[in-house]
């Protein structure tokens, strides 16, 4: 277990380093962000001064070196726009994104597990066919379109839910969250549903495919021969054996949603990290983009680690090493 942790740690450092290099190389092709910071009527002198202040007057190699040295001291750079540490900007907005992503994942699991298990255990039944057709629709629909339709129906027509923005927030363990009040929770619902659609559809298909495979196994028949009820056979003996691929995909999708909830956050004017990324790209706020992408890489490494641990918890034949 200790060796495994060391291995994972080294892997994380390598991944973060590679990502930082890639991002810096890409950034060097996107032109000089100084022009986006200075007023339109700025003189050449003022522009040069701004460039020096932002540290953009030196070669990319030197810039990268300086960035690396700072990172080793725990300083990930400051936003050009907000003049705040870039990491702090991301962490401030992270709770907003985590809120809608977690709610979306809960919705996806609560809907996908029973339907997927049913469709996998009873292929060919009308409801199973309906579930499969529905999941295909869910995969095909683009998220931004679903979001707009939801806004039109539930916010504009029926006015059940607010159309955009985040509700009132309260402090919980030092994080600003909004799900604690009903008004805040109401704001969460539409963006969360929008985010959940694609994940839900894919999870459902995976669970169905796995369950179809598992239900053919002898131990399922043996469980039925023991006199176990259908529910016990499906969930205790069946679903647990179908969990490994599910956990893998679930982890990847969780990371993906946290990192790139951008479209949904834009449509719902949700002040999360996805919106921060779009705004930063738009403003040429290079330090924020770099730290953002490194944060995403970090998160995926963590997700993979958690998935590995879950494997070992689910299946006693898998050992962490």
Partner 1 sequence: MSEAARMSVAQPAPLLSVRNLRTWFHTFGGVVKAVDGVSFDVAPGEILGLVGESGGGKSMVGFSIMGLIDPPGRIEAGEIVFEGEDLARLDEARMRRVRGKRVAMIFQDPMTALNPLYTIGNQLEEMLKLHTDLPSARRRERAIEMLREVGIPQPESRLDNYPHQFSGGMRQRVVIAISMIARPRLLIADEPTTALDVTIQAQLLRLMKHQVTQNAASLILITHDLAAVSQMADRIVVLYCGRIVEKGRAADVIERPRHHYTRGLLDSIPHHDKAQARLRQIPGSVPDIRKLPPGCAFAPRCPAAQDICRRVEPELVETATGQAAACHFPIEATR
| Shortest distance (Å) from residue 238 CB to partner 1 | 10
- The answer to whether residue 283 forms part of the interface with partner 1 (CB under 8 A) is no
Q: How does DSSP classify residue 57?
A: S
* Closer residue to partner 1 (CB): 175 or 244: 244
Binding segment for partner 1 (CB under 8 A), chosen from 62-70, 138-146, 220-228, 297-305, is: 220-228
Phi, psi (degrees; rounded to nearest 5) at 151: -60, -45
Among 50, 100, 206, 223, binds partner 1 (CB under 8 A): 223
* Closer residue to partner 1 (CB): 157 or 317: 317
Q: How many residues does the chain have?
A: 321
Binding segment for partner 1 (CB under 8 A), chosen from 10-18, 107-115, 234-242, 267-275, is: 234-242
* Closer residue to partner 1 (CB): 8 or 224: 224
Binding segment for partner 1 (CB under 8 A), chosen from 27-35, 219-227, 254-262, 293-301, is: 219-227
- Sign of dihedral through CA atoms 245, 251, 257, 259? negative
Among 229, 269, 306, 309, binds partner 1 (CB under 8 A): 229
Among 35, 65, 152, 219, binds partner 1 (CB under 8 A): 219
- Residues 159, 151 contacting (CB under 8 angstroms): no
Put residue 298 in one of left, alpha, beta given phi > 0 → left and psi -120 to 50 → alpha.
alpha
Ranges within 36-65 binding partner 1 (CB under 8 A)? none
| Shortest distance (Å) from residue 285 CB to partner 1 | 48
Cα 247 to Cα 57, 78, 136, 173, 314: the distances in Å are 47, 36, 21, 28, 10
In 3D, which of 313, 272, 318, 315 has the Cα closest to residue 295? 272
* Closer residue to partner 1 (CB): 160 or 219: 219
* Closer residue to partner 1 (CB): 11 or 230: 230
Ranges within 238-277 binding partner 1 (CB under 8 A)? 240-241
* Closer residue to partner 1 (CB): 52 or 226: 226
| Shortest distance (Å) from residue 236 CB to partner 1 | 8
CA angle, 179 then 185 then 187, to 5°: 125
* Closer residue to partner 1 (CB): 60 or 221: 221
130-150 as b/e, with b when 16 or more CB fall inside 10 Å?
ebbeebeebeeeebeebbeeb
| Shortest distance (Å) from residue 240 CB to partner 1 | 5
Ranges within 119-178 binding partner 1 (CB under 8 A)? none
- Residues 131, 118 contacting (CB under 8 angstroms): yes
Distance CA 230, CA 154 (A): 38
Q: What residue ranges in the chain does DSSP mark as E strands?
A: 170-172, 175-177
Local structure of 174: helix, strand or coil: coil
Local structure of 64: helix, strand or coil: helix
Among 228, 281, 302, 320, binds partner 1 (CB under 8 A): 228
> In sequence order, what DSSP letters do the residues of 177-225 get, joined into one string?
ESTTSHHHHHHHHHHHHHHHHHHHHHHHHHHHHHHHHHTTSHHHHHHHH
Binding segment for partner 1 (CB under 8 A), chosen from 136-144, 148-156, 235-243, 286-294, is: 235-243
| Shortest distance (Å) from residue 233 CB to partner 1 | 10
| Shortest distance (Å) from residue 225 CB to partner 1 | 4
Positions that interact with partner 1 (CB under 8 A) = 217-219, 221-230, 237, 240-241, 314-317
């Amino acid at each position: 277990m200790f060796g495994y942790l060391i291995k994972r740690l080294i892997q994380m450092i390598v991944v973060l380093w590679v990502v930082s290099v890639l991002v810096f190389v890409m950034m060097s092709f996107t032109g000089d962000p100084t022009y986006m910071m200075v007023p339109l009527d700025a003189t050449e002198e003022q522009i040069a001064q701004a460039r020096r202040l932002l540290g953009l007057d030196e070669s990319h190699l030197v810039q990268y070196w300086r960035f690396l040295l700072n990172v080793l001291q725990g300083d990930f750079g400051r936003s050009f726009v907000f003049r705040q540490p870039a990491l702090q900007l991301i962490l401030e907005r992270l709770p907003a994104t985590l809120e809608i992503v977690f709610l979306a994942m809960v919705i996806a699991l609560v809907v996908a597990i029973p339907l997927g298990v049913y469709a996998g255990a009873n292929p060919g039944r009308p409801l199973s066919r309906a579930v499969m057709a529905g999941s295909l629709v869910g995969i095909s629909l683009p998220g931004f379109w679903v979001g707009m339709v939801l806004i039109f129906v539930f916010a504009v027509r029926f006015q059940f839910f607010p159309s955009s923005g985040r509700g009132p927030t309260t402090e919980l363990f030092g994080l600003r969250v909004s799900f604690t009040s009903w008004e805040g929770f109401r704001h969460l619902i539409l963006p969360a549903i929008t985010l959940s659609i694609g994940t839900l559809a894919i999870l459902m298909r995976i669970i169905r495919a796995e369950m179809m495979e598992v239900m053919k196994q002898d131990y399922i028949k043996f469980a039925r021969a023991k006199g176990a009820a259908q529910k016990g056979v499906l969930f205790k003996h069946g679903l647990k054996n179908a969990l490994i691929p599910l956990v893998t995909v679930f982890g990847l999708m969780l990371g993906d949603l946290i990192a790139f909830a951008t479209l949904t956050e834009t449509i719902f004017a949700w002040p999360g990290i996805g919106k921060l990324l779009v705004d930063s790209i738009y403003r040429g706020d290079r330090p924020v983009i770099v730290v953002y992408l490194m944060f995403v890489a970090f998160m995926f490494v963590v997700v993979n680690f958690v998935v590995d641990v879950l494997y070992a918890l689910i299946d006693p034949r898998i050992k962490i090493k």
